[in-house]
Every structure is written in C-alpha cells, then in structure tokens.
Amino acid sequence: MAPAVPRICCLDLDTFFVSVERLLDPSLEGKAVVVGASKGQRGVVTAASYEVRRFGVRSGMPMADAVRRAPDAIFLPTRHNTYSPYAKRVREVLERFCPEVRTASIDEFFLDFRGCERLYRRFGDADGDATIERVVHEMRRAIKRETGLPASAGIGASRPVAKIASGLAKPAGVVLVPVGREREVLGPLPVRKYPGIGPVMEERLLRAGLETLSQLVELPAGELRARFGGVAQRVRAGLEPNARVQLGRDRPAFLEHDQPQGGAVGSISNERTFHADVGDIQRVLDQLRTLTERVCWRARQRGVRARTVTLKLRFSNFHTVTRSMTDRPSHVEAQVLRRVRELFQRAQVLALPVRLVGVQLSNLVPDAPQLELPLGPDQPAPVGDALDAVRDRFGYDAIRLGVAGSKTRWLATPSEAVVAAG
DNA sequence: TCTGGGGTCCTAGGACCC
DNA sequence: TCTGGGGTCCTAGGACCC
C-alpha cells in the first residue's frame, strides 16, 4: 500500500475582483484598492487589496467604515459581469489538470485528484506528497500565465482541510497538509479559521474558553455535540485522519452526487436594499413586482418552476422577516406575483419603513409541459415569449414590463403592454 | 454615510399520516 | 379511553460562505 496522499485541492483566486481590475487598468498595481458599493450608496466592501488591508479594511465591511479607515484608497464599483469570464477561463485551465472540478464560488474551486495517477507520473516518479504539490504548483503557474490572475492553493485529505490550507497559502502560494498530521498542523489555529465557524459560534467557543481547534477537538465527543452542536462535531471529524475523512466525505458534498442534476440550483432569489428606507407601500409593491419579474425570468431560463415562493422584508431597524408559501409549481409572473402580494399582506408585522425586499423561488422542479388549459389566464402570453426572446439575445435589462417610475403605475397583466426601457 | 446580494445548510415546531 | 411513536412536509428564522 502506498502511503496515503492528500488529494483534495482548494484553489482560491487572490483578491479576485481587485486582480481583474488591475488587469484592465495596470496603473492600479501596488496601490490600495477597494471594490464594493458605489460611493454614496448603501453597501459593503466586496474585495480589498493587500495594500489596503494594512489599514484594517476587510471584505464585508460597510463602505463607510472603509472610507474612514483608508480615505486615500481607490474605490471601484463591483462589476460582476466583468469578472465572471475570467473565472470561466480559470476553470478551463483547472480542467486540463484534473477531471473533477467543482466551482464553489466565483473565485474558489475544489479539485479531486483521486484517480489521477497517470497525471502524477508525468510530474514525478513517486506517488507522494511532493508530486501532487508539484502538480498544483504547475497549475497555479498556468493560471497566472494564461489569465494573469494570482491564485493560492491548499491540499489536504478533506475539503475543509484543503480550504484552511489555501488560506494559509495566501498570497500566491501552495500549502499541503500531510495525511495524519491534520491536528498537528491545524490544531494551533484559532477556531474561527474552520469553515462553518463564524462570528456567532466563535463567540460561544471563546466564552467557553476554547480558542484553538486543538482545544475544541480535545473535548469528549458527546460533550462537544451537546454543548456546541453539529458544527463542532464536524470540526472533530475534519481533523481526524480516519478513512471517512480521507475520502473527503466528512460532508456529503463534493464528489459523486454533489452537483444537483441538470445544473439546477436549489433556489433562485433577488433582493434589493433601497437607497433610503421606504414608507410608501406602493413603492414597496412596485419593487416586489420588479423582483418577481426577474426571478421568474431566471427560472424560465433555467427550465425550472418553483413550488415555494418566499418574501423577505427587512425593516429600518434591520429586523428581518420571511413569509413563504408552497403551491403548484410556477414560473409565471402573474401567478407568482399574486402569491408574493398575499405574503406581503401577512408580513407587515411592523409599522416601520422598509429597508430591503426580496423574492425567492425554491423547491424547484424541472419545467414540464403544463397539463392545463393552454389559454388559461395564468399562462405566459405570447408577448411573454417574445419578451424572453429579446432578453435571451440582449440581456435581461434590455426590456422591462410596464413602466418603472414614480409617475406611472404598473399595468395589471404582462400582456397589456410592453415598454422598452431605453 | 453602519450593516450587499447571491446562495447553502441547519434547527425546531406543528400538521398530518400510518 | 389513553398513550405512543416514526416519517415527511411545511414554515420561520438564523448562521454561514464568498
């Protein structure tokens, strides 16, 4: 038996949005750059260059905070559509190195190198730690060469171990955690470093005097579970070099049945924070209509209908409520909007101005031909099909239903009018 | 200028069925 | 009449990730 080799790799693009902005504008190189909400808008930092992190700027931080900490930094608005083609090209490079690639987010990928022995031979004579490390180094260089983007990588026996290792590897490095030495290498880290332990759990653990992962996993399993629940128990599993972990199965994610069939996703949602809190119910309803239109369009694009519709409201005091309803599958605006309005009636628990509204579709089922009267009032009108066709070609915002604006009101049904917005 | 937007997963209680 | 389990679905909230 060859010695166990860690074969799960987490590849993470370093300060991804900032790196892309630098490719497009090389004068940003070496400067303090913050990507996030536009100036004057409500929002947070989505990416911060290493130069600006020195001032304490972090992603997720309110924009106003970032401006206060680093007033001289360069602030850029987030341009999602600009970044995703780069992520796609990175994935293409990864696929040349490994047949099993999972996209975890726009800037993070997991690779499973099990069953890649032939590839190993190309890079070294032994099937050992040094060989897979060389493969991953070469992969990083290929990404840099072909896309210009810096990346870091972690290698471990399981997904969480690889993930933590990639964090240790930043910037632009590779860290391998040998099988069987997880506790030794990762144990001294603060509990917050473990994926799944966030601010709330960290606080609970610190209050109990547990600061490091070692201290956490030394607790008896029963006590761990009873006091801190499933997350803490998963940490123990992640740091135990047993067979389950070596297979990367500590969570049922990743390998065989990871990706939902047909590329379907579990839910589709859109939400919007108002520039300033809104007390006018009609304006809230208008926004709900816009959001409903958008999620229904995305559902049709994906070829799914939703059984569950969820409305989300956040009030001016940040209190958030959700109301949901499960019914026959739909992706038809008129139907979904009717449900959203009903949920809205139920959700106005606070007489406070509204900060955010959201609409979510879940419980998605594959789009099958409807077994209903084809000309029922809830069916997409032919004009709806035409709308979708325009959007397929020119993008969602090429055309809008009704007129979005304070001076006009929404028309009652989609078939009444189509108004091009620009 | 406090606190985005897209997701996933977990928990817990109640309804309902067997 | 009393006393139960499981299992599944639905709903609401919340932690967490990038």
Mean pLDDT computed over every residue of chain A: 85
Q: Give the tens place of pLDDT for each residue, A114-142.
A: 888 777 776 665 667 888 999 999 999 99
Active-site residue among A51, A95, A100, A108? Answer: A108
Distance CA A350, CA A371 (A): 40
Alpha-helical runs (H) found in A114-198: 117-123, 129-147, 159-169, 182-186
State the nearest residue by CA to the C1' of B1. Answer: A64
Quickly give A42 CA vs B1 C1' distance in Å: 8
A90 closest CA partner among A77, A73, A107? A107
Quickly give A171 CA vs B17 C1' distance in Å: 56
pLDDT score of A199 more than 90: yes
Distance CA A187, CA A176 (A): 15
A379 closest CA partner among A387, A367, A370? A370
Identity at A393, one-letter amino acid code: R
- When mean pLDDT is compared over A132-141, A237-246, A254-263, the highest value belongs to A132-141
State the nearest residue by CA to the C1' of B5. Answer: A271
DSSP state of A62: B
pLDDT band at A226 (very low <50, low <70, confident <90, very high): confident
Range with lowest mean pLDDT among A22-26, A199-203, A243-247: A243-247
pLDDT band at A371 (very low <50, low <70, confident <90, very high): low
Distance CA A230, CA A213 (A): 15
How many Å is the Cα radius of gyration of chain A? 25
Beta bridge partners of A155: A9, A176
For chain A, give the number of residues.
Answer: 422
Nucleotide nearest to A201 (CA to C1'): C15
pLDDT score of A1 more than 60: no
Report the run of H or E that residue A85 belongs to, with start and end: helix A80-97
Distance CA A231, CA A44 (A): 27
Q: What is the pLDDT of residue A242?
A: 59
- The reply to whether A108 belongs to the active site is yes
Q: What is the pLDDT of residue A236?
A: 87
Quickly give A306 CA vs B18 C1' distance in Å: 29
Question: Distances in Å between the alpha carbon of A212 and those of A83, A184, A203, A263?
Answer: 36, 12, 12, 38
Instruction: Report pTM.
Output: 0.84
Quickly give A243 CA vs C4 C1' distance in Å: 40
pLDDT score of A50 more than 60: yes
Nucleotide nearest to A252 (CA to C1'): B9
Residues of chain A above pLDDT 70, percent = 80
CB A155 within 8 A of CB A175: yes
Mean local confidence (pLDDT), A290-319 = 97
A197 closest CA partner among A239, A157, A154? A239
Quickly give A272 CA vs B2 C1' distance in Å: 18
Q: Give the tens place of pLDDT for each residue, A51-98.
A: 999 999 999 999 999 999 999 999 999 999 999 999 999 999 999 999
pLDDT score of A261 more than 80: no
Q: What is the pLDDT of residue A39?
A: 78
pLDDT score of A312 more than 90: yes
A62 touches strand B (CB under 7 A): yes
- Considering only residues A124 and A150, tell me which one the structure prediction assigns the higher pLDDT: A150
Strand B nucleotides in reach of protein CB atoms, 7 A cut-off: 1-11
Domains of chain A, first to last: 16-77 (3.40.1170.60), 186-238 (1.10.150), 263-421 (3.30.1490.100)
Matching residue, tokens 């929404």 = A410
Query: What's the angle, vertex CA A362, arms to CA A357 and CA A365, rounded to 5?
Result: 145
State the nearest residue by CA to the C1' of B8. Answer: A266
Question: Distances in Å between the alpha carbon of A52 and those of A35, A69, A72, A216, A247?
Answer: 11, 9, 10, 33, 39
- Considering only residues A24 and A116, tell me which one the structure prediction assigns the higher pLDDT: A24
Mean local confidence (pLDDT), A401-407 = 44
